[in-house]
Structure 1
């Protein structure tokens, strides 16, 4: 719509789900980070942590959603205001991440940490979780179906991958369909690559667009 910024063509998120734990003055901080795409999904991760660690004192959370990171929420869950959820959110934002929720469960160890100690502990737990999971770039890609023969499918898939074309799958029907993913502006370039590889014997059929994790 006119006047609205264009949606980003790529963004960063976590590569895989992961967990981390740190201990500060006998208080245990258990971090879990998960990829999510909407608020219900994020809240489900928080609820699951509550159920699994029902005897813990706090389940603080933060999440960022959307390719542009426009939706951001944080919750201190009973910790002093601004000492848990907000620092966790800042770690996610500092790494430029979206479509991710972080939950840090705290088991109190008997020693008060003070505001500064809590900020450091919750932040460090999330940073440790990110080190465990790693980061991946997601890009909006155009899916293109390449119609070929059973005899040529394997070679075509190999040649595409060797040219860093993302192959999403192969359907062995009649004809065989090799599904490739290219940047939304890269269909004509793919057409040229395929024509050179197959002497023009393979036809292309652009289909939908979707977000794809790029190879690391």
Structure 2
């Protein structure tokens, strides 16, 4: 599992007009090629009267699955420019379909490349990009007498509390950076005078929204 990577927040779409042609970018997070193909077919069905539904996707930790489709546009003028934007933005697990309704003015190869690239870039900005960071979940079991002190210290620190369970004792679950486990354990041990019972209970990706353009 990658320690950290960027992908899109979820589904989004964005439309722009270039030389009377409508370009509608549809963006979706996908984690398998099957899901990517389902998304592409869904958009094609939704816009079955469009002139073109060009697409590309980039999937996997090492981008080992990547496809581009021009859907009738001149070879290399649509699918590849879409894919290149995904690579340039270093996004993973992302599929894009750019729907075009021809407006009567031919753009030429260079114009098409720029148009599909711009539609993709603006579509991604509108959808939003997130950072997914792999975190450990550390459970700290303490006596209720330590609850106020430990919870206050945690909430004042850079650590993020996932959950608190009030059972026979108090179980506090905290997200910890992969490289900071021992530092956290030492800190909690000192905070509880060695009375806290600490164990790792899992790993999970935490998402942070990096950017989103709400215009359009």
Q: TM-score, normalised by structure 1?
A: 0.83
Q: Shift of the alpha carbon at 1:172?
A: 4.8
* Gap runs ≥5 in structure 1: 1-6
Which region of structure 1 is more displaced relative to structure 2, 86-95 or 139-148? 139-148
Q: 1:69 matched to which residue of 2?
A: 63
Asked whether the equivalents of residues 137 and 213 of structure 1 are also in contact (C-alpha less than 8 Å), the reply is yes
CA distance in structure 1 between the aligned counterparts of 2:136 and 2:16, rounded to whole angstroms: 42
Aligned to 1:3: none
C-alpha displacement of 1:150: 6.9
* Contiguous gaps of at least 5 residues in structure 2: 211-216
Q: Does 1:204 align with 2:215?
A: no
Alignment of 1:68-87 (within 5 A): 68-87=62-81
The runs of at least 4 consecutive aligned structure 1 residues that moved more than 4 Å come to 148-158, 171-176
2:214 alignment partner in structure 1: none
Distance 1:102 1:151, change over 3 A: farther
User: What is the alpha-carbon distance in structure 1 between the residues aligned to residue 148 and residue 126 of structure 2?
Assistant: 35
Q: Give the structure-2-normalised TM-score.
A: 0.83
How much does 1:128 deviate?
A: 0.5
Partners of 1:168 and 1:202 lie apart in 2 by 17
**Alignment partner of 2:35 out of 36, 41, 51:** 41
Pairwise CA RMSD of aligned residues? 2.5
Aligned length, in residue pairs: 210
Judged with a 3 Å threshold, the aligned counterparts in structure 2 of structure 1 residues 215 and 128 are, in CA distance, closer, same or farther, namely: closer
1:7-46 alignment, distance < 5 Å: 8-46=2-40
Of 136, 140, 144, the match for 1:142: 136
Quote how far apart the aligned CAs of 1:177 are. 3.6
Structural mapping, 1:103-142, within 5 Å? 103-142=97-136
3-state secondary structure, aligned to 1:167: strand
Whether the 8 Å CA contact 1:142–1:206 is kept in 2: the answer is: yes
1:22–1:125: 8 Å Cα contact kept in structure 2?
yes
- Residues 215 and 89 (structure 1), Cα distance of their counterparts in 2 relative to 1, 3 Å cut: closer
